[in-house]
Amino acid sequence: MIRPQMNLPIYLDNQATTQIDPRVLDAMMPHLTSVYGNAASRSHSFGWAAEQAVETARAQVAKLIGALPKEIVFTSGATESNNLALKGVAEGAREAHPERIPHIVTQATEHNAVLDVCHWLEKQGCRITVLPVGPDGLVDLEALRSAVDDDRPVLISVMFANNEVGTIQPAHEIGALCRELGVLFHTDAAQAAGKVPIDVSRDGIGLLSISGHKLYGPKGVGALYVRRRSPVAEQMHGGGHERGMRSGTLNVPGIVGLGAACELAEAEMNAEAARLGALRDRLRAKLETSLDRVHVNGSLEHRLPGNLNMTFEHVDSETLMMGLKDVAVSSGSACTSAAIQPSHVLRALGLDEEAAHSSLRFGIGRFNTEEEIDFVAERVIDVVRKLRQLSPAYAEMT
């Protein structure tokens, strides 16, 4: 099964993080060595060079999502971007209308970087509405409209694509609804940026979060798109950097890497999506052909090309992963992988606790090959069959 030229273990956890693209690293290297100025030092050439590199990256990030460069605020990643968006809007609303309770609407399958912020804001006196999703992971637009009509929120936050099941939400329709009703729309696009087309103007998006390490860039850097005149109060004070919304010395090498990653993603998105979608469908077909009682979680039609989340009935996912030591996969979000509780995303889709504990996420990425996919399929099939031989429940059903 193992061919000499194949490197093991095989990495199929690209929703957790991606390998930095060598071309991105090449772009970063000068700023890790010889071009080391502070981008805020505008009195000499070292600072000017750093500032120019930052502005080039700002334009690269903006172009990927159809924004203007000055609408990009650099952060440490999507978690910080989400915090700045939600807390910033809530605080801005309080300052503008102290007599009103800020209302934020979100949905049940959000990343914890949104849900935990919402829980915190609720303790601070905000009103939070968490909408359910269907079995395909899609939010119900009529339920969203009802939530808006019930009490005009200051913000609707719905992620563009889910990190566990890959479901792509109807961002354009949500944006149209927000535009119609005059509500600000935020989307966590950490998984979607660079993988699927995004146009913040077309889609009516007011705030959008990006993380570098999800699109073959470096860790520790991200961005928040902030549409002009959006009411976002700063959350980090001390110098007024980034339009006053995010103080702190800029991570120039990381920002350069993020910009380079965005530029590559824009140029190669269509071809890469087609290739990853074909690899995903190949893996799915092999697993479904050789194993019974397996099913895909989330929408098959509206899905990230590199995501496959599957339930293997009568097999514990943690035990399955232990049997796949030469394959790197996950049973859920990297941010909650140490938790004993089943995935809140899978439970929101309607899976019971046992099924949620029997699911694996395969994250296929830029550097995976057809040969690797075939190897992984064979390994999963082999381990699932062996584990099911030890399952009395499965034996009874067969």
Annotated active-site positions, please? 335
**Amino acid, res. 146:** S
- Please tell me whether the peptide bond between 9 and the residue prior to it is cis, using omega within 30 degrees of 0: yes
Q: Please calculate the CA angle 276-279-281 and round it to the nearest 5 degrees.
A: 110
Q: Please calculate the CA angle 366-370-376 and round it to the nearest 5 degrees.
A: 100
Phi, psi dihedral angles at 11 (to 5 degrees): -95, 110
Q: Which residues have CB under 8 Å from 38's CB, separation 6+?
A: 46, 47, 50, 249, 250
Beta bridge partners of residue 224, listed in sequence order: 73, 209
Counting beta carbons within 10 angstroms of the beta carbon of residue 352, is it exposed (0 to 12), middle (13 to 18) or buried (19 or more)? exposed
For the four alpha carbons of 315, 316, 319 and 325, in that order, the dihedral sign comes to positive
